[in-house]
A and B are shown apart, each in its own frame.
Chain A
């Protein structure tokens, strides 16, 4: 014990003064993105959503390889075919993955198509087989598919639509447009939003006033009618790709005000930081201050907010196409597919035509979880 004779307490461990010249924690020395990633991984839902989205986007170029059929290939004998299951066991014994061929019959009572599976003759699935021609990643023409049904049988995982096209294959092809429309749109809105937002936030004054009023006017316009009007103005003879770009640019143009506001308010608060004033006093020009000091400090926040607004873009495209004003056939997107499911009666009899809703819901949820996780990981108050 270290109670001194005069009653005071004295610590008896050897004491070394801290000269204050060495850094404290080695783990705090990591680059910022690594710290963020470490925190992001703790958000399980967000992490798995990110992995799912990564896989989805990576598989876009090889959608044609995964899909058994090409998107507009018609099976005239299999209109409104129901989803077929893939079986492994036939009559109790393992014979590998196979389907049962189906044949169509008209139900004379309600005039709907009924399909009778032929459970006697299993049709073994073929792998890396030849089928419809398609372009891999839009470049190489090939007819190799991951899986196809043998002669005389079909493989409709999610059934077929009213023209006998495979819904599963169309969903894969539709993803190519539906998932990228958000990215293109967000790029457009990002560029406009950052440029105008940083001008407004950094320079202030009259420019700020003008940009704010433009934002307010854009925000006051009713969104859906404006979309409708703008997309109705797209000439009908344009190619699907041109229409696709126009649609995504329209979505982007209408989306930037929110981002510009976020950028502006961030700029206003960051401008007061001393390192910004230090750079200004050193003689840095505004463009350098913005590029080197302001943007890096909140780009990560912008990415998180952009991630959260991609689903809105995807839903916007879907809504427009559903109303018949976005992409048009022969282009395939999830919205275009749902356009076919507008008829309530046909959904009642052939519910699988509404299956494209599932990937929309899953992707939008995944983006939201991912964005949430990112935002939590970037929150400086939670370290």
Chain B
């Protein structure tokens, strides 16, 4: 068990003299009236002599309650809840405050901060446990899942009966929804999908029957349908065991679905705290209001459904297939053929946005790469590009060298990860001038002038030209990435999840920027996303993909107001919304997100014999048996 070991080991390393004297005067205020399970009072954390990153933060949580800590990255929410377990980074110092945990018998409280690390190990995993954001990184890749989970029981032997450990772990596995606990017990983390790994993490966290579960962005790395199921699971388990949950998240939709109490944080301070009904129903603080304004929402009302007129198409893809052949696990075993994209028809109108929505592995990124000619589709696919309305269509599959260079000037891409999209060794001006340099356009001073202009366009000041990417925040980097894509004055942009790594408020700004630029330059976007709410805002035409197939296609109004396909319905139902009166309907999610062979009769298929995409209304197509 990676994390427990790490807690204890890193705790021992950090056992400094500062803590030694305080270790034995752990406060036990028995006289005080005890109210909450966990009480954090006036917590202030700082690095070195810098201004504190967490300042005077207080919150409390009671058994059976869920407290949500909401805020953007860098708001100090993770720091605050990690200080409860004392697993802060080595350089962080707790400057003041108390973390009071009610004793097991309920007759007193203990301040956790002065506790020695040896005694903290009794608290961790036993009374308080934690789920982390990255399910892959919190499980040791070298050990079987079962052994990692059982280790929690071995580390806290007092509460387990010898020989019963395995049975208890298997029971927990069943509880978190593994259909075959025995198989999971003996499998390695890499054999499970992201959602399954997170379930294993939850199993590990609850197997010691803790009083408090801290979930640090437990679903941020998961697909929206998986997220809904994992959140539902946490809620169920909480109701069953009556433990307290602290949920750290940046997503107000998740908060609305889970929390009883909400604590909104920004720049290390609590902005607003209260019950979920108060905060979500009537936000008072301007920051909370900003967060609400930025949260993407699925449009409620159906607009006018009009069929797009397909006269001026920038990109036209018809019957696009892509298969990958993987080597078998051994030379004699047969090769595995993976169909990443199956018969996709897609058009992008000039000045409009076509969006592709789907979970990870649905083939949407492959489709984007094919559209840019970075990957060759299977023979028989037709992909044509028109730089201008009147120009001859260019067959992307069969470009010669000159055509490819010309195409690369017309079609650009905005990438997903703002932290790897810019070369850390290049100043902003070099990064921006690079496309022009590659294509040999303009003199140096002209390139610089263009770069400055583009910086202004994306809302950054020109004095950033000489800076390095590491001086910028994620949102700023994504702006730079957009500026770089615009340098060549393209007519077509592929945006591969440009906002999925950003905070909600920043996401809102970037989406707004993308819209502005599209309208200003008459750009056309192919927008890839897993988030229906984001797509609903920016797209004119949406394709919902599942396992390489388009299952439903139409304008966003039609799709959201009148979804036909169970998978689309599941996506919409799974979308957490910042409204406590609209809980996630897990039944719809489970049905749509399940295997195609479990879908309702008219949509059901098995393997390769998928039903055709039939047009039910003008511009609205659904994959179903007519």
B residues in contact with A277, CB < 8 Å: 374, 415
Within 8 A of B (CB), among A1-18: 4, 6-11, 13, 15, 17
Instruction: Choose, from A65-73, A144-152, A161-169, A282-290, the stretch at the interface.
Output: A282-290
* Chain B residue, CB-CB nearest to A33: B425
Asked if B471 contacts A28 (CB within 8 A), the reply is yes
Asked whether B461 lies within 8 Å of A22 as measured between CB atoms, the reply is: yes
The B260-285 residues at the A interface (CB cut-off 8 A) are: 266, 269-275, 278-279, 284-285
A273 contacts B by Cβ under 8 Å: yes
Q: By the criterion CB–CB under 8 Å, are A278 and B471 in contact?
A: no
What 0/1 readout, one digit per residue, does chain A (264-302) give for beta carbons within 8 Å of chain B? 000000000111011111111000100011001100000
Residues of A within 8 A of B413 (CB): 278, 281
Shortest B495–chain A CB gap in Å is 13
Query: Which among A25, A32, A274, A280 has the greatest number of chain B C-beta atoms within 10 A?
Result: A274
Point out which of A15, A29, A273, A275 has the most chain B C-beta atoms below 10 A from its C-beta: A275
Cβ A24 vs Cβ B472 within 8 A? yes
Is there a chain B Cβ closer than 8 Å to A23's Cβ? yes
Task: Assess whether A6 is in contact with B461, with CB atoms less than 8 Å apart.
Answer: no
In whole angstroms, what is the CA distance A288 to B416 when docked? 23
Q: Choose from B269, B416, B464 the contact partner of A13 (Cβ within 8 Å).
A: B269
Residues from chain B with Cβ under 8 Å of A25 in the complex:
471
Give the distance in Å from the alpha carbon of A25 to the alpha carbon of B424 in the complex: 16
Query: Is B372 a contact of A6 with CB atoms below 8 Å?
Result: no
Q: Is the CB of B439 within 8 A of A283?
A: yes
Given A29-B468, A281-B412, A283-B404: A275 touches B270 (CB 8 Å cut-off): no
Chain A, Cβ-Cβ closest to B427: A31
For the complex, give the distance between the alpha carbons of A284 and B473 in Å.
Answer: 27
User: Which A residues are CB-close (under 8 A) to B274?
Assistant: 4, 6-9
- Which residues B271-303 have CB closer than 8 A to chain A? 271-275, 278-279, 284-287, 290
B53 to chain A, nearest CB (A): 13
Identify which of A17, A29, A293 contacts B287 (C-beta below 8 A): A17
- Given A15-B287, A23-B476, check contact A297 B424 (CB 8 Å): yes
- Given A9-B272, A11-B285, A283-B404, verify A278-B425 contact (CB < 8 Å): no
With contact pairs A274-B415, A281-B408, A283-B404 given, residues A15 and B423 touching in the complex (Cβ less than 8 Å): no
Which A residues lie within 8 Å of B468 (CB)?
28-32
Cα A283 to Cα B410 with chains together (Å): 11
B580 vs chain A, min Cβ distance (A): 15
Residues of B with C-beta under 8 A to A4: 274, 284
A217-240 vs B, CB cutoff 8 Å, 1 = contact: the mask equals: 000000000000000000000000
> Once the chains bind, are A23 and B269 in contact (CB under 8 Å)?
no
Is A15 a contact partner of B408 (Cβ separation < 8 A)? no
A11 adjacent to B372 (CB under 8 Å): no
User: Would you list which residues of chain B between 429 and 448 have a CB under 8 Å from chain A?
Assistant: 434-435, 438-439
Residues of chain B with a CB closer than 8 A to A279's CB: 423, 434, 438
State the CA gap A10–B426 with chains docked (Å): 43
* Chain B nearest Cβ from A272, distance in angstroms: 8
| Minimum Cβ distance to chain A for residue B573 (Å) | 30
A343 located at the interface, meaning its Cβ lies under 8 Å from any Cβ of chain B in the complex: no
B325, CB-defined interface residue at 8 Å: no
- B476-519 CB contacts (< 8 Å) to partner A: 476, 481, 484, 488, 506, 509
Residues of A within 8 Å of B438, CB to CB, are 279, 282-284, 288
Q: Quick check: B271 and A11 within 8 Å, CB to CB?
A: yes
- Cα of A261 to Cα of B612 in the assembled complex, Å: 51
| Residues on B with beta carbons closer than 8 Å to the beta carbon of A273 | 420
Q: In the complex the two chains form, what is the Cα distance from A20 to B472 in whole Å?
A: 9
Cα distance A280–B459 when bound, in Å? 26
Given that A23-B464, A29-B468, A283-B438 are contacting pairs, would A8 and B459 also be in contact in the complex, using a CB cutoff of 8 Å?
no
The answer, yes or no, to whether B470 is at the interface (CB within 8 Å) is yes
What are the residues of chain B within 8 A of A32 when measuring CB–CB? 424-425, 468
- Does the CB pair A17–B290 fall under 8 Å? yes
**Least distance between A20 CB and chain B CB atoms (Å):** 5
Complex-state Cα separation, A28 to B422, whole angstroms: 16
Give the nearest-CB partner of A272 in chain B.
B420
Q: Contacts A4-B284, A17-B287 given; indicate if A29 touches B467 (C-beta within 8 A).
A: yes
A29-63 contact mask (Cβ, 8 Å, vs B): 1 or 0:
11110000000000000000000000000000000
Taking CB atoms, residues of chain B closer than 8 Å to A280 are: 374
State whether the Cβ of A93 lies closer than 8 Å to any Cβ in chain B.
no
Question: A383: shortest Cβ distance to chain B, in Å?
Answer: 9
Whether the Cβ atoms of A23 and B471 lie closer than 8 Å is yes
Asked if B363 lies at the interface with its beta carbon under 8 angstroms from chain A, I say no
**Which of A11, A24, A296, A297 meets B272, CB within 8 Å?**
A11
Question: Could you say which of A7, A10, A20, A30 contacts B285, with CB atoms under 8 Å apart?
Answer: A10
With both chains docked as a complex, state the minimum distance between the C-beta of A8 and any C-beta of chain B, in angstroms: 3
- When distances are taken between beta carbons in the complex, the residues of chain B under 8 Å from A278 are 413, 415, 421, 481, 484
Q: How far is the CB of A228 from chain B (nearest CB, A)?
A: 42
Within 8 A of A (CB), among B447-473: 459-461, 464, 467-468, 470-473
B62 at the interface (CB under 8 A from A): no
Which A residues lie within 8 Å of B287 (CB)?
15, 17
Shortest CB distance B532–A (Å): 24
When the two chains form their complex, are residues A282 and B475 in contact, meaning their CB atoms are under 8 A apart?
no
Question: What is the distance, in angstroms, from B116's C-beta to the closest C-beta of chain A?
Answer: 27
Chain A residues with CB below 8 A from B423, complex form: 275, 279, 292-293, 296-297
Expressed in whole angstroms, the Cα–Cα distance for A30 and B469 within the complex equals 11
Of A21, A25, A277, the most chain B CB neighbours within 10 A belong to A21
User: Are A281's CB and B372's CB within 8 A?
Assistant: yes
B420/A8 in contact, CB under 8 A: no
Shortest distance in angstroms between A36's beta carbon and chain B's nearest beta carbon? 12
Among B426, B470, B484, max chain A CB count under 10 A is at B470
Contacts of A23 in B (CB 8 A): 464, 467, 471-472, 476
Q: Does B316 contact A (CB under 8 A)?
A: no
> B395 on the interface (CB 8 Å rule)?
no
**List of A residues within 8 angstroms of B284 by Cβ:** 4, 8, 10
Residues of B525-571 whose CB lies within 8 A of A:
none
Any A CB within 8 A of the CB of B15:
no
- Which A residues lie within 8 Å of B439 (CB)? 282-283
Residues on the A chain within 8 Å of B472, using CB: 23-24
Tell me, in angstroms, the Cα distance from A283 to B266 when the chains sit together.
Answer: 42
In the bound complex, CA of A22 to CA of B472 (Å): 8
B473, A296: Cβ atoms under 8 Å?
Answer: no
Q: Are A24 and B473 in contact (CB under 8 A)?
A: yes
In the assembled complex, the CB of B335 is this many whole angstroms from the nearest CB of chain A, namely 18
Chain A residues positioned under 8 Å from B426 (CB to CB): 292, 296
Residues of chain A from 196 to 223 with CB closer than 8 A to chain B in the complex? none
Q: Is the CB of B372 within 8 A of A20?
A: no
Q: Is the CB of B467 within 8 A of A296?
A: no
Chain B residues, CB < 8 A from A297 = 423-425
User: Nearest A residue to B274 by beta-carbon distance?
Assistant: A8
For residue B417, CB closer than 8 A to chain A, the reply is: yes
Q: Which residues of A contact B278 (CB under 8 A)?
A: 6-8
Distance in angstroms from B328 CB to nearest chain A CB is: 20
Q: How far is the CB of B620 from chain A (nearest CB, A)?
A: 33
In whole Å, how far is A2's beta carbon from the nearest beta carbon of chain B?
Answer: 9
* Closest chain B residue, CB of each to CB of A7: B274
Are A275 and B422 neighbours in the complex by a CB distance under 8 Å? yes
Q: Contacts of B509 on A, CB cut-off 8 Å?
A: 20
Distance between Cα atoms of A111 and B413 in the complex (Å)? 86
Query: Can you list 13 A-B pairs with a CB-CB distance of less than 8 A?
Result: A6-B274, A6-B278, A7-B274, A11-B269, A11-B272, A11-B285, A15-B285, A31-B468, A32-B468, A279-B434, A279-B438, A281-B413, A283-B438
Q: A20-B473, A24-B472 are in contact. List 10 more A-B contacts (CB 8 A).
A: A8-B278, A11-B269, A20-B509, A23-B472, A29-B467, A32-B424, A32-B425, A274-B421, A279-B438, A283-B409
Give me the interface of A with B, judged by CB distance under 8 Å. 4, 6-11, 13, 15, 17, 20-25, 28-32, 273-275, 277-284, 288, 292-293, 296-297
Nearest first, the 10 A-B pairs at minimum CB distance are A8-B274, A283-B408, A9-B273, A296-B425, A274-B415, A275-B423, A274-B421, A274-B420, A28-B471, A29-B471
